Chain A
Amino acid sequence: MSVDEDFSAFVSAQSSTLFTTAYLLTGNALEAEELLQDVLVRLYPKWARVSAADAPVAYVRRSVVNQFVGARRSARNAEPTLSAIPESGSEDEALVAVLDRAVIAELLEALTARQRAAIVLRFFHDQLDDEIATALGCRAATVRSLISRGLAAMRAQLLRPAGAPADGTEARS
């Protein structure tokens, strides 16, 4: 099988799951496709090396995460703006609310790029601390901190009264 054929077969088989990862990171279908496309164009010239990896899809997913984090870091424009935080209520009500996909999309927007990547890799892809650390290029302890702070930020946003401004207490990486 030629490199082109191998690349095409990989993309055909994995584009859907990689798109999902990109979508959860970006929160936007258009940006997700652009993100995935950027990564694949960058990887295509060295595809023989990528396909020789133990798990090519994991390699590409790591590249998607890195591209996302790098792009957000360079943009430096991501102070969170929350437009549709639910009304304040009890935490039990909040638990129900977080199941709503529109709400969780808003909560993810409140996170830094690295927090968001860690949350998605842990709670959607069920990756372990070490795997997430490899993807993000940090230590496992940092991953635990990112996830802990990310969850705390989401929880705080969820319980914030409607219309209350973000307090900016969350450390942003």
Chain B
Amino acid sequence: MTDQRGFEEAVRSGLAGLAAAEPAPPGLAERLVSHSVDAPRRLSRSGASRSGVRRWLAPVASAGLVAAAALVAVVVARPTHHAAAPADPAAPSSTIASPSSGPAPGTGPVFTAVPAAGSLTPATCAVPPVAVGGHDLATVDRAPSNLTIAWYFGPKAACGPIQLTVAGPARAVQLADQVRAASAASTGSVYCPDDDHSGAVLYFTYAGQPSAETVTVNFSGCSVLNAPGRRPRAAGSVITGLLPLRPPVPGPTSARPS
């Protein structure tokens, strides 16, 4: 019969074995220092809070924006079509910048600048439309050093400055791998019901690279991830990876990914 002390010793031994089986990954200290020191500075340049790695840049929804969001909510309560064509001109617009250098040639990723906190102030919180097309799938490079995520909760949510969060290298690498592994979305004209226009734009940054590689993820409707001039991928696994990072939905109504 095993006594209590024997069981405790077994647990002690088991924990030691478990710890020994998973040593710290290579480069851990460098990543931790780099992210701890650099991420707060990057976000604080535009006056963001310094309280934590994921700084929810609290939306300050003005009465005008709330009213606009309420109006648009009526308009967008309809299905959309995802197709290899320019973005639907009727879709809610955003002031998010187009990629600064346009789609890169070949199979590489699409580059753009990482937005500063508070710089994205769309008229609604609809995820920006993307003009998809071409032969190459949306992609990003492996091993990003950081990931900035711009969250769009859809026009049903109160809309203020778009919330940005910063994920660290481990999560960035995981999501980049999920993007790269995602299967191609269905081609042609596809009916996408229940599109609440919620989603996220992912800005993957890399050591020594000034611009970011971006993909846009649609949480609802066809649930695809897009990049300008690229073919969409199915976003299911990426959405699953993103949900734990998502800040609370602001405003009087909730727009949850389906």
Contact = CB atoms under 8 A, between A and B. Distances in A.
Contact of A95 (B2, B16, B22): B2
Interface string B77-100: 000000000000000000000000
A131 B208 CA distance: 43
B28 interface: yes
Nearest to B6: A95
Interface stretch (A6-14, A51-59, A134-142, A161-169): A6-14
Contact of A42 (B12, B32, B53): B53
Given A38-B52, A38-B53, A98 B15 contact: no
Interface in A96-141: 98-101, 103-105, 107, 119-120, 123-124
Q: How large is the interface on A (under 10, 10 to 19, 20 to 34, 35 or more residues)?
A: 35 or more
Interface residues of B, number: 42
A35 to B, nearest CB: 10
A99 B171 contact: no
A40 B31 CA distance: 11
Interface string A3-32: 010011001100110011001100001101
B24 A104 contact: no
A41 B35 contact: yes
A148 B50 CA distance: 39
Given A41-B39, A100-B14, A15 B32 contact: yes
Contacts of B12: 123-124
Interface string A136-167: 00000000000000010011000000000000
A95 B7 contact: yes
A81 interface: no
Interface in B1-55: 1-2, 4, 6-8, 10-19, 21-25, 28-29, 31-33, 35-37, 39-40, 50-54
A44 to B, nearest CB: 4
A34 B170 contact: yes
A37 interface: yes
A65 interface: no
A16 B19 contact: no
A65 to B, nearest CB: 15
A12 B8 contact: no
Given A37-B31, A94-B2, 20 more contacts: A15-B28, A16-B24, A19-B28, A20-B22, A23-B22, A29-B22, A30-B174, A33-B169, A37-B53, A37-B169, A38-B52, A42-B53, A44-B37, A92-B1, A103-B14, A104-B14, A123-B11, A151-B7, A151-B11, A154-B11
27 contacts: A7-B33, A11-B32, A11-B33, A15-B24, A15-B29, A16-B23, A16-B24, A16-B28, A16-B29, A19-B25, A23-B22, A30-B170, A30-B171, A33-B169, A36-B32, A37-B36, A38-B54, A41-B52, A43-B36, A44-B37, A91-B2, A99-B13, A99-B17, A100-B14, A104-B11, A120-B15, A151-B7
The 3 closest A-B pairs by CB, nearest first: A104-B14, A41-B53, A33-B170
Interface of B: 1-2, 4, 6-8, 10-19, 21-25, 28-29, 31-33, 35-37, 39-40, 50-54, 167-171, 174
Interface of A: 4, 7-8, 11-12, 15-16, 19-20, 23-24, 29-30, 32-34, 36-38, 40-45, 91-92, 94-95, 98-101, 103-105, 107, 119-120, 123-124, 151, 154-155
